[in-house]
Structure 1
Amino acid sequence: MPVSDLLDHPLTERADHPAVIDADGTLTYRQLGTAVDRAVGWLRGQGLTAGERVVYSGGNDRSFLALFWATLRIGAIFVPVHPDLTDHQIDHIVADSEAALAVCRPAAGRRAARTVDVEEAWQQVLATAEDGFRADLDEDEVAMLIYTSGTTGRPKGVVCPHRQMLAALDAIHACLGYDEDDVVLCRLPLSFDYGLYQALMSALVGGTLVLARRSEDVGLLRLIERTGVTVVPLVPSLAQMLTLLQGKLHRPTRVRLFTNTGARPGRAVMAELLEVFPGSEFASMYGMTECKRISILDPAEYAEHPDSVGPPIPGDRVRILAADGAELGPRETGEIVVSGPTVMAGYWRIPLEAQNRFVRRPDGSLELHTGDRGWLDEAGRLYFVGRDDDVIKRRGMRVALTEIEDAAERLPGVTAAVALRPEPEDGPLLLAVHGTLPPEQVRAALAGRLDHSRMPDRVVPLDTVPLTANGKPDRAAAKRLVDAAAAASAPAADHHRSTRTTTASPRSSHEPVAV
């Protein structure tokens, strides 16, 4: 069955049960179904047909869900985009996906066959007659393209067929056990797969999805209490915020489960979070867009194995490989490699031989080489050690350092750029540039090309760009050069500060130290 058929069960069995709670109120499954039918009519009125791409850059609300379900139901391909991305970033996705329709800011969607502003599109949907059309789809057809940071510069579209998405849902459900009485908080962007799959999991069991926005964080604990939230997917910043709020207010809640994937909250934060939310448990998980979810730790095992991200989800297999491709044994660290029914179908319009993540196996299936490092214990539990050198988690987003470099190197006057891996991962991000364009002008120009998560905190000059044996920029060597330049300039800066007049303006904390 196609993913859109997930709505059939709750529409039939739980039509009057709350499906979605957002800033505009509550929608039952019956009302959500009506909104989806109207969105189907609107999309077909735009001339959309099966296989065409729909780029959508909206926020966490009912309009996102209605257009998502409707796009899949007519057989088109949904391409979610975070609304905080710049016009330049969205334009790349629109062009790369060859979108037939872009629901986004007009300037960002100019290369689509048709572009409609998000709010205007929703008003048109509400004024459209309901349409019960359903495309006849095979599970191997593509449901979504999710653009994710890669190690080759610009974001690539992960091809997500209906079959793999359904397999991932079934496997995650088998581990986490969402049920029809669950109320799932989604403060994560729906444009991220971790957020969107909360909507899919809720539909699978007929539960309720509560959509929240970061701008509403002040009242988040009240929202959790008022709506009876039982499941909270986390990112580290959200874990810290909830710990602080609940530690002060001690509100009665129904929260039973916290989950996390990607960058994990610290052990101390999780211990305090579980203490201030009595009766709750924590499921530590590991995954990436190219496979959705890879492993899940049973909450009952968290106390004994707090550093593990659990065994592979049902149906998937994890191997740990050495640099020469040899399979490693228990407690030996190497690259995490995944095979199974949840491995997606590669990258959009990039030949398999040109991809460095997906590898064809002898049986014809694809194996995902994550680029991440980890090890397995004797019981098959996975331990995540670190990410690919070129990819970091920053402000809740997976960011390729090469994306930042690529954006800088497109600027006139920049001949080379090296993004320095932050230490720790959420620390200040420095971009070293070589060329004639002053660093402060580089950063100003990047403000229109990069979103907040990818924007470097400082830009510093680099006289020479060190290279590895493979001819790639050597990040470690570049960092040593930047550190040495900063150390050499420190005495001179101290002397200047001690001798300057009282009328001199102090240097901004955001000004590059070497400028």
Structure 2
Amino acid sequence: MPPAHYTDTRPIDHLAECGRADDPALVLRGRTLSHGELRTRVAALAAWLAHRLPEPGARVASWAAKGELTCLLPLAAARAGLVHVPINPLLKRAQAAHILADSGSVLLLGTAARLASFEEGDVPADCAMLDEAEVWDAVAAHDGNLPPSSADPDDLCAILYTSGSTGMPKGVMLSHANMWLGAVSVADYLGLKADDVTLAVLPLSFDYGQNQLLSTLYAGGSVVPLDYLLPRDVVKACAKHSVTTLAAVPPLWLQLTELDWPEESTTAMRCLTNSGGALTPDLVHSLRTIFPDARVFPMYGLTEAFRSTYLDPALVDSHPTSMGRAIPFAEILVVNDAGEIAAPGEEGELVHCGPLVAQGYWQDAERTSERFRPSPAASEYGGTAVWSGDRVVRAEDGLLYFVGRRDAMIKSAGNRISPQEVEDAARATGLVAEAAALGVPDARLGQAVHLVVRASAGAGDRTPELAQILARELPNFMQPKVIHWREVMPLNPNGKIDRAALKAEITP
């Protein structure tokens, strides 16, 4: 259980008040904001937002690279009584347009080039757009100052969009309490301190990436936002900023361990965290070789409940395949197929209970009812739980072990990819009559996207043309690695495409 003084849940914008005023908080290109300056900038941005959008709960979206705006908006929007909708900068206009329409966002703040990529009809008529320069000019002209909020911790303050097993991305609703306790929890078990320097390489639109920022601010440390082009950029940034904390997903860790790390890039490193897939023993060994003084934290989580488990670094070598135990504020139960708490060694579904459980999917009662259900009777927290769909086993010593996923999600390079979204894009080209997107084991990506298609009448195998269109319509991480053409798609007894048969055919 977390220390007693962590039970004071606050509005998320209060994270701006945690650090010592003169200590660095945000290391940007060309300038560094102290925690005192961070407070001033959050107050000014929040005041302008509240003036621009006076309706409580209005959605304000952002679609930009990491920088001052994207780092301050999670706090400033919440302080203004608004709901922040961060859009992954790796997405393209079709996905961004869907998120704007689905969330009902009335203001989009972003990079000028991204805003210019929209086509006619993409952006709802009632959604205004401002680029980053216009935002800061407007903030300066408004010259306001909004003090820390007194919001109810259960109020909605963010919607994070994540791919589902079917269809376009769905919005996970997060409260102030979800985000505050997530920051407190991670700062606690990682042991973050005021002299920590976190290199934020993951997208701030992901719960894992956003928490890098929020947990470090809670601890009073500093964050270096980085949008890297090459893994070598991460190595250089670690040296330049004496980075102490680095989070990544397995494919990036694999790329990083293949590089030469000069001593100045590694000597300050204290903490390495991983999520989005399991670390292999070989990868852990490589990380320990490069960073001999750093603790390695394998973690498991899902956007619907932020994060569920972590493995104590002291156990990584002796229990390399374990997911570990529940993080502070999480209660993790294993429920067997009879609906009872599974016995040690018995496989069951991972069920996450407690205050980190999100509020459901935005305007999607049907899918909310499928994933967010009453906690098992054995739960100490009670209330609503997230039924993950993931199969796990709890050993006699309490450590959890992952067995498999129940749904059809593809997990590639740390990204959750909806098969249907790839399939819909393929069919929309007119070249494809039927499509099935599958995840095939891949040494570098975890899973690679393979697309199996049956051509439309008279189309034939037109891989280059199909690949070119998909490259334009889908983000890079969704691109099929291989496109397979079939004259006939196999069907299961229900008359649906037999995905298991296809996967068996194409898996090496």
TM over 0.5: yes
Partner of 1:110: 123
Q: How far did 1:280 drift?
A: 1.1
**Residue identity opposite 2:32 in structure 1:** T
After alignment, is 283-292 or 110-119 more displaced?
110-119
CA distance in structure 1 between the partners assigned to 2:481 and 2:105 by the alignment = 33
CA distance in structure 2 between the partners assigned to 1:331 and 1:22 by the alignment = 48
Partner of 1:417: 435
Sequence identity (%): 33
1:409/1:7 CA distance change after superposition, 3 Å = same
User: For 2:326, what is the secondary structure of its paired residue?
Assistant: coil
Q: Is the 8 A contact 2:251 2:446 kept in 1?
A: no
Give the one of 350, 359, 372 matched to 2:390. 372
Partner of 1:7: 16
Q: How far did 1:435 drift?
A: 4.3
Q: Deviation per CA, 1:319-363: give whole Å up to 9, x if none.
A: 333445444222233322221221111111111576432113478
CA distance in structure 2 between the partners assigned to 1:17 and 1:264 by the alignment = 35
Q: Deviation per CA, 1:476-507: give whole Å up to 9, x if none.
A: 22235668xxx9xxxxxxxxxxxxxxxxxxxx
Aligned length: 481
Q: How far did 1:287 drift?
A: 0.4
CA distance in structure 2 between the partners assigned to 1:44 and 1:303 by the alignment = 50
1:132/1:228 CA distance change after superposition, 3 Å = same
CA distance in structure 2 between the partners assigned to 1:280 and 1:359 by the alignment = 39
1:163/1:250 CA distance change after superposition, 3 Å = closer
Partner of 2:449: 429
Q: Deviation per CA, 1:124-176: give whole Å up to 9, x if none.
A: 44554232255542111111100001112111100111122223233323322
Q: How far did 1:429 drift?
A: 2.1
Q: Is the 8 A contact 2:197 2:242 kept in 1?
A: yes
The answer on 1:171 being equivalent to 2:185 is yes
1:435/1:220 CA distance change after superposition, 3 Å = closer
Give the one of 124, 142, 153 matched to 1:139. 153
Partner of 1:16: 22
User: For 1:356, what is the secondary structure of its paired residue?
Assistant: helix
Q: Is the 8 A contact 2:277 2:446 kept in 1?
A: no
Q: How far did 1:413 drift?
A: 5.2
**Residue identity opposite 1:33 in structure 2:** R
Give the one of 41, 46, 56 matched to 1:40. 46
Give the one of 199, 207, 223 matched to 1:185. 199
Give the one of 478, 487, 491 matched to 1:454. 478
RMSD, aligned α-carbons = 2.5
Q: How far did 1:260 drift?
A: 0.8
Q: Deviation per CA, 1:260-291: give whole Å up to 9, x if none.
A: 11213322122122122221111111101111
Unaligned runs of 5+ in 1: 488-515
**Residue identity opposite 1:344 in structure 2:** A
Partner of 1:199: 213
Give the one of 333, 341, 344 matched to 2:358. 344
TM-score by length of 1: 0.86
CA distance in structure 2 between the partners assigned to 1:325 and 1:57 by the alignment = 42
1:123/1:237 CA distance change after superposition, 3 Å = farther
Q: Is the 8 A contact 1:19 1:29 kept in 2?
A: yes
User: For 1:447, what is the secondary structure of its paired residue?
Assistant: helix
Give the one of 462, 466, 477 matched to 1:442. 466
The residue correspondences of 1:101-500 to structure 2 (distance < 5 A) are 101-104=107-110, 105-108=115-118, 110-111=123-124, 113-132=127-146, 135-215=149-229, 217-247=231-261, 251=265, 253-352=267-366, 355-361=369-375, 365-412=383-430, 414-424=432-442, 426-436=446-456, 437-438=459-460, 439-440=462-463, 441-469=465-493, 472-480=496-504
CA distance in structure 2 between the partners assigned to 1:251 and 1:409 by the alignment = 47
CA distance in structure 2 between the partners assigned to 1:166 and 1:482 by the alignment = 44
After alignment, is 57-66 or 154-163 more displaced?
57-66
1:302/1:433 CA distance change after superposition, 3 Å = same
Q: Is the 8 A contact 1:48 1:100 kept in 2?
A: no
Q: Is the 8 A contact 2:470 2:479 kept in 1?
A: yes
1:6/1:449 CA distance change after superposition, 3 Å = same
1:479/1:224 CA distance change after superposition, 3 Å = closer
**Residue identity opposite 1:370 in structure 2:** S
1:217/1:414 CA distance change after superposition, 3 Å = closer
Larger radius of gyration: 1
Q: How far did 1:101 drift?
A: 0.7
CA distance in structure 2 between the partners assigned to 1:287 and 1:300 by the alignment = 20
CA distance in structure 2 between the partners assigned to 1:218 and 1:429 by the alignment = 25
Q: How far did 1:96 drift?
A: 0.3
CA distance in structure 1 between the partners assigned to 2:147 and 2:352 by the alignment = 37
After alignment, is 365-374 or 291-300 more displaced?
365-374
Q: Is the 8 A contact 2:82 2:157 kept in 1?
A: yes
After alignment, is 457-466 or 305-314 more displaced?
457-466
CA distance in structure 2 between the partners assigned to 1:354 and 1:51 by the alignment = 20
User: For 2:345, what is the secondary structure of its paired residue?
Assistant: coil
